[in-house]
Amino acid sequence: MSTSISPIGQGGDSLVARLAPMPAPMADLQSAEVSPTGAPAGVEGFGTMLSRAVSGLNQQVTSADRLQEMAASGQLPDPTVAIVATEKADLSLRLAVQVRNRLLEGWQEISRMSV
């Protein structure tokens, strides 16, 4: 989902309305249902889920960068929109790093187990 951001004054909708549907990087995790066998229903696999999460994170960071540029050039009437988007992207990135660290710690612990 790519949102094109045009300069203020062009288009009929407001900037905030266009930026409101930002995807959360882990949104697919919250809505996943579990089948009776214990496997997630409708989920293609861990790699696909991880790929979607990284893609959502990338979109958030790109959108925040774009808003920062607009605020710096004076095209954004309310710079707090850029600040909030930047903080959301920062928190999402920190979450992704912590998830990665936990996955690596788990993998290292499993690899140290003797069979």
Higher model confidence: residue 23 or residue 2?
Answer: 23
User: What is the rounded average pLDDT for all residues in the chain?
Assistant: 78
Window from 4-13, 18-27, 73-82, 103-112 with minimum mean pLDDT: 4-13
CA 84, 99, 28, 49 torsion: positive or negative? positive
Sign of the alpha-carbon torsion through 77, 67, 3, 6: positive
pLDDT over 70 (residue 33)? no
Write the CB contacts of 16 (distance below 8 Å, at least 6 apart in sequence). 81
pLDDT digit string (tens) for 48-79?
988 999 999 999 999 999 999 999 999 999 99
Q: What is the pTM of this model?
A: 0.58
